[in-house]
Amino acid sequence: MKSNGMGKWLALGALVLSLLSSGRALAQSALVDGVASEPRSADPYFHAEEPTNNLNWNIYDGLTRFDVDYKLQPALAEKWEAVDDRTWVFHLRKGVKFHDGTPFTAEDAKFSIHRCGTWAKSGYKDSVSQIERVDAVDPHTVKIVTKGPFGILPAMMGRVMMMSKAYVEKTGDDAQATKPIGTGAYELKEWVRGDHLTLVANEGYFRGAPKIKQVVIRPLTNDATRTAALLSGEVQLIIDVPVRDVARIKAESKIEVVSRDSSRVIFLKMDQAREKSPKLESPTGKNPFLDVRVRRAFYLGINEEAIATHVMNGFALPIGQMYPSSIFGYDEGLKRPAFDPEKAKALLKEAGYPNGFSVTLDSPNDRYVNDEQIAQAVAADLARIGIKVKVNAIPKNTYFPMMDRFESSFSLIGWACNPPDAIRFLDTNAHTVDDAKGLGRYNYGHYSNKKVDELIQAASRSIKQEERLKLMVEAQRVAVAEDVAFIPLHAQVNLHAKTKTLIWQVRADNYHIYFEMDLAK
């Protein structure tokens, strides 16, 4: 038995010695990307979640696409125009082929949009729900008729990936999850669940052959493991760098942290509908949030600069509106008012709450970067103007269903507009709750202002972009500056880390689009 143990040790030693030689030969023309979560399916309509989209947007293309700055660009459609306010014509690029060599035509586009909206398991139905009819006019022209005027249709088409009609019909819906055929820059070669996915370059890609010939995506869900894999050179790129590892990475000479403001804004919602709110106790017995002076006092009483510096380690952009500058609808003129606890106290007194009141702040604790800590900091700030805030930080799995039942008085939440158009926020968060029309689905504070509703509806109806911009800017001014319907805190910053040999500009939408990358020799 003793010799057995010795033998094992000897074998181990031999292994260790042989390591240096077999180490890192692979990483030359191939990129290994360490992602925080495994994609769920290669079917581009299955789930609209970031890691899954990230995979599929490398394999497929939409009629349109977003560039690194989140601006709309042509993709499978060369150009498009609105014939009238309900009819759009997309002119498809000629000579585009799927990975299996068959040409991409208008029939494929028609089929894809139809499948996106009707496949039972589609998580993307909302992207096409405003479409009434799709016609293939000729092999390179698609006509889309919407139910009503729908100004963001071209942007929506950047989310709907184009599949091959013949291939999907031949292989069936379920096969798409693991054996995708697209027109995109990469083909899926291998998927070993939980371990890695291998993508190989599509040399015939219509935007040119990708510079990186092979990409391996490895799900490294543990933050420390992901950082370690980058430090040891096993991966060349990682997403979602934990804030605490930034200093460690900066100390290395061969790797660097790259960051960009994300489109996700963290903000607070207040119950503005009920006379008596469930998680609130005030001396008058009424709901103080009904008074705009109270909401404004909250806004002025929160020291966001301090939150950005101390809670977020500087990786947050304090903001005075509901979306950052990369979103269409951003308002240059709308600034965050300065932190002013004295004025906040005065406002509370004026509103009849000189001694404040107590309220519960509901927050998820596993959804946004440092979400629970942000809620704690908000509570501490508000304590200084006399408001007793109890923080209720719970997992997102229970938080969102609770919010859906309108059981909250005061809550912390985040929102990212996708596609990057402010209407995505306004429709879902600022419009009066209207389940029948699917509006105000996330308006957890039940904010309701007829003027804002009209502006939002007008912006939805219009297909003239300058006019839409004006309407959306006005809607936000009323909702945020006049009504203080929401209290914006900051835009999250996305952190990625990479080897310096990887040439890449961080995208505003946080995606890793490998076509845009190159490895220096």
Residues forming the site for another protein (CB under 8 A): 1-2, 4-5, 8, 12, 15-16, 18-20, 22-23, 37-38, 40-41, 43, 46-49, 120-121, 123-126, 129, 174, 177, 192-196, 218-222, 224-225, 228-229, 231-234, 395-398, 400-401, 404, 415, 424, 427-428, 435, 438, 441-442
Give the list of residues 6+ apart from residue 357 with CB closer than 8 angstroms, or none. 280, 281, 282, 283, 288, 387, 388
Residue 231 beta carbon to another protein: minimum distance, rounded to whole angstroms = 5
Q: What span, in angstroms and rounded, lies between the C-alpha atoms of 93 and 391?
A: 54
Q: Which is nearer to another protein, 218 or 468 (CB)?
A: 218
Residue 218 beta carbon to another protein: minimum distance, rounded to whole angstroms = 6
Nearest one of 131, 43, 489, 82 to 303, comparing CA atoms: 489
Beta bridge partners of 32: 216
Q: What span, in angstroms and rounded, lies between the C-alpha atoms of 156 and 63?
A: 9
Give the list of residues 6+ apart from residue 253 with CB closer than 8 angstroms, or none. none
Angle between helices 465-476 and 450-461 (to 10 degrees): 160
For residues 169, 170, 174, 175, the Cα torsion angle rounded to the nearest 10 degrees is: -130
Residue 40 beta carbon to another protein: minimum distance, rounded to whole angstroms = 5
Q: How far is CA 324 from CA 64, 229, 466, 508, in A?
A: 22, 32, 18, 10
- 89: three-class secondary structure by DSSP: strand
Structure-block tokens of residue 116: 């996106």
Q: How open is the CA angle 164-170-174, to the nearest 5 degrees? A: 85
Q: How open is the CA angle 95-100-105, to the nearest 5 degrees? A: 40
Residue 240 beta carbon to another protein: minimum distance, rounded to whole angstroms = 14
Q: Which is nearer to another protein, 125 or 274 (CB)?
A: 125
Question: Which parts of 210-339 are beta strand (E)?
Answer: 214-219, 237-239, 255-270, 280-281, 316-318
Residue 256 beta carbon to another protein: minimum distance, rounded to whole angstroms = 17
Contact indicator for 258, 264 with CB cutoff of 8 Å: no
Q: Which is nearer to another protein, 3 or 275 (CB)?
A: 3
Residue 440 beta carbon to another protein: minimum distance, rounded to whole angstroms = 10
Residue 480 beta carbon to another protein: minimum distance, rounded to whole angstroms = 20
Residue 305 beta carbon to another protein: minimum distance, rounded to whole angstroms = 28
Q: Which is nearer to another protein, 60 or 104 (CB)?
A: 60
Q: What span, in angstroms and rounded, lies between the C-alpha atoms of 108 and 281?
A: 58
Q: What span, in angstroms and rounded, lies between the C-alpha atoms of 299 and 479?
A: 13
Residue 193 beta carbon to another protein: minimum distance, rounded to whole angstroms = 6
Q: Which long-range contacts (CB under 8 A, 24 or more apart) does 72-81 make?
A: 72/154, 72/155, 72/158, 72/419, 75/158, 76/104, 76/109, 76/162, 76/183, 76/206, 77/142, 77/157, 80/154
Residue 472 beta carbon to another protein: minimum distance, rounded to whole angstroms = 16
Q: What span, in angstroms and rounded, lies between the C-alpha atoms of 438 and 421?
A: 18
Q: Which is nearer to another protein, 293 or 424 (CB)?
A: 424
Residue 221 beta carbon to another protein: minimum distance, rounded to whole angstroms = 6
Q: Which is nearer to another protein, 128 or 377 (CB)?
A: 128
Q: Which is nearer to another protein, 104 or 267 (CB)?
A: 267
Q: Which is nearer to another protein, 20 or 338 (CB)?
A: 20
Q: Which is nearer to another protein, 179 or 335 (CB)?
A: 179
Give the list of residues 6+ apart from residue 2 with CB closer than 8 angstroms, or none. none
